[in-house]
Amino acid sequence: MKDKMIVIMAVLAAIIATACNEKTSSLQEAEIILEKRMDSLLSVMTLEEKIGQMSQVNLESGITEALLESIRKGEIGSLLNAGDAINRKQLQQVAMKESRLGIPLIFGRDVIHGYRTVFPIPLAQSCSWNTSLVEKAAAIAAYEAASDGIHWTFSPMLDIARDPRWGRIAEGNGEDSYLGSQLAIAMVKGYQGDDLSDPASLAACAKHFAGYGAAEGGRDYNTTLIPETELRNVYLPPFHAAVKANIATVMSAFNDLNGTPATANEFLLKKILRTEWGFRGFVVSDWTSVTEMINHGYAAGEKDAALKAVQAGVDMEMVSRSFTHYLKELVQSGTVDEKLIDDAVRNILSIKFRKGLFDNPYPQAPDEITFLRPENLEVAKELAIQSTVLLKNDNSVLPLRENIQSLAVIGPLADAPLEQLGMWTPDGRVEDAITPLAAIRKKIGKDRVIYVPALETGRSTDKSQFARAVAAARNASACVVFLGEEQILSGEAHSRAFLNLPGAQEELITELARTGKPIVLVIMAGRPLIFSRISGKVQAILYAWHGGTMAGPALTDLLFGIVSPSGKLSVSFPRAEGQIPLYYNHRNTGRPPQPENQGIPAGTPLDPVNFTSNYLDLDYTPEYPFGYGLSYTTFDYSPVTLSSPEITAGDTLIVRTSLSNKGKYNGTEIVQIYIRDMVGSITRPVKELKGFQRINLKPGESREVTFKLTATDLSFYRKDLTFGTETGEFMVWVGKSSADHDLKGISFSLSE
C-alpha cells in the first residue's frame, strides 16, 4: 500500500510539474493541460473516491472524528457551512495531507447579498437597474467571503418571479427576463472576476434550475407547470446568460417541472444545459432535493432517487447521502454506467482545478481591515440609495429641510438593525448595521429628533404606545414612519397569503394621519406589499426594501435631498392578492380590458359590451407598475424617432428620444425601451423590455438617448421551438415605466 501511494503521488507531482513548465499562453494549451491533469487523477481514483467527490456534507455539530475520517477516506468532496476560517483550514489540511490522493475540498456558503458588508437584498438591487454597481457588490462579497476560506457561493438566484406571495422573490431579480439576464451577467462577473483562480473570487452558482419562481400559489417548493415556449422565452434566459458568462456551477431546483422533478429532469440538465448551452461546470442538487423526490412520488426510495438524479445529470448531492449509500451498488450491478460517475467527477474536478484549489488550498488569514472597508461600505450605501424607489411625493414633501425644527421618527423598523439586514445574512452582524434613527440623529442632531417605536415589533398588535406616537407627531414639524416586514417574513419557506403591512401598522398610520402633520412613509420589506388602504393618508412613500448594513445613511441622504431617488421597480405591485399573478409582459386576451373599464364596469350581465378580462371590484392595472419610480426632479421625453420605418433581419434599428430635466434638482432617470411583436406564431406579450440606460442630468440639461435594436432583440422561441424572428409589424416605446401613459411609441416593420 505504501509503495502504491508513493507511485500515485509521484504521478501527480509529475503532472503538476509538467503543467507548471509547459507554456500556457493560449487558452487551448491551458485546456489541454487541465484535461490531462483531470484524466490522470481520475485514472488512479477508486469508485469510492469518485463517489466521495459527488457528496456535499453540511457541518451541523462541529468537527468530529467521524467527519475527519470520512475526509481521510475521500468520502466527501465538499462541505457546506463548515465553521470559521480556522475550521476550514483544519479540514482542508486533512483532505490535502491525510487523504490518499490529496484532493481539496470545496467550501460552500450562502453568500447571497454580501458577507460581513451586507448589501440590499437582491430584489432591491435589481431596482437600481445598475449592472456595474451590482457587479461591484458581488465582487466585494466575494473578496470578504474568500478571505474567510469560502470558495463557492450559492448565488445568484435567477428565478423569474411573478408572485410576491412567494418568500424567495426577495432573493431574485424580479419579473423580467431581460433585466434578470443583465443582472445575472453582472453578478457572475462580480463573484468570479476575470480569473476564477484569483484568491479573491468565488465560484458562483446559478439557481434554481428551473422554473422554481413559478411555484403554484406562491407556495414555496410547489409544483410548476410551464409550457416549453414560455419556459424558453421567460424563465431560462437569465440562466443562459449566466452560462454564457462562464458561471462555474448550477443548482437544480426543488420543484417538479411539468411532472418531472428538476433534480431528475434530463430535459433541463442534459438537453438544454449541457447539449444546447455547452455548460462546462458542475450541477449540484438543492438541499436534500435528491431524496425529496420520494415525497414527490417520483422515486421509490433513496436508491431510486440516486439513480434518477445521476442519470439526469446531477453531479453533486447536497446534504442527503443517497449517492454515498447507493451509487457504488448501482454501478457494480450494472444499473449505472461508471462513465456517468466519471463524467460527474470530471465536472467537479474541473471547477476545483479552475478555482486553483490544488495549488492554493488554504485561505489567507483575514486581517482587521478585510471586512467593512470604508470604500466597500460606500458601495453598500450607494446601492441602498439606488435601490430605493420613490412611490409617492405629493406637494414635494420630500426632500425634508436640513434645518427642520423637529422631526418625529416613528415605527418599529426605524431602529431595528437585524431587520434591515434582510433574509440570508448568516455572516452579517447586527452591530455593523447603521439604522435610520442613528443616521438621522447624526444628520440633524439628537435634540431635534423625537423617536417613538409605537410598536414593539412589526407584527405587534399592542397599541399602547400609539398615544406617545401621536403626541410626537403633533409636536414635530414632520413625521417619518418606518414600517414594513421583519426579515423573518421573507425568504425561503416564508410565503404569505396576505401581503398587508403586518400587525397594527396600518392602524398606526391612521392615527398619525389625524394629526394633520406631513407623513413620510418608509417601507422596509422583502417583497412587494399591499398598502393601498393607507397610501392616501401619507404624503410621501419611499420603498426601501431591506437595505443592508448602510440602509440608515442611505435613507437619510434620500430624505434630506443629498441625492434624489432613482430606483425603478423590477416587479409589479398588485392592488390586491386577487390580482396575482400580475406582471407587465402578459399576453392580451380576445377581450382585453380598456381604460374605461378601470374600477367597476358599468355594464350588466346582459350587456356584453363590458365583458372584458378584468375584475368587477378592482382596477385591472397594478398599484405600481414594473419600471415605475419617481424623482425629486421632473423628466420630459421628446417623441420617439426611428432610423427607418422598415428593417430586415440583418439591419440595426436606431431608436432616439431626447430627455430633459425640467425640475430643480440633479437627477438620474432610467430610460426604458419596450417592443411589441403585433402578430406571432404564438401570442406575444403586450410589451417586452429590450434595453435601459441610466441618464444623469442637471436642472435644465437635455440629452439625446439612443437605443439599437437588432434581429436578436426581435427574436423568440416560436411555435416550432426554433429561435428567430417573424416578419410583420412591431411597436417600440421609450419612457419611464412600463405603464402606457409613461411611454411614447412608434411602429415599424420587419421584412425579409
Catalytic residue ranges? 286
Distances from the Cα of 227 to the Cα of 178, 315, 612, angstroms = 19, 27, 25
Give DSSP secondary structure letters for 470-529: HHHHHTSSEEEEEEE--GGGSSTT---S--SPPTTHHHHHHHHHTT---EEEEEE-SS--
Distances from the Cα of 528 to the Cα of 449, 470, 501, 576, angstroms = 29, 27, 10, 11
> Comparing C-alpha atoms, which of 694, 563, 727 is closest to residue 627?
694
> Comparing C-alpha atoms, which of 724, 649, 735, 647 is closest to residue 687?
735
Determine the Cα–Cα distance for residues 389 and 402; give it in Å rounded to an integer: 21
Distances from the Cα of 107 to the Cα of 37, 80, 96, 144, 634, angstroms = 21, 6, 14, 14, 49
Determine the Cα–Cα distance for residues 442 and 687; give it in Å rounded to an integer: 45
DSSP designation for 267: I
Half-sphere exposure of residue 313, counting CA atoms within 13 Å on the CB side? 24
> Comparing C-alpha atoms, which of 356, 328, 346, 317 is closest to residue 58?
317
> Comparing C-alpha atoms, which of 712, 402, 738, 452 is closest to residue 568?
738
Cross-sheet strand order for the sheet of 519-524: 389-393, 540-543, 519-524, 478-484, 407-410, 449-452
Query: Helix, strand or coil for residue 458?
Result: coil
| DSSP run (H or E) holding 623 | none
Query: Helix, strand or coil for residue 625?
Result: coil
Q: Are 263 and 309 in contact (CB under 8 A)?
A: yes
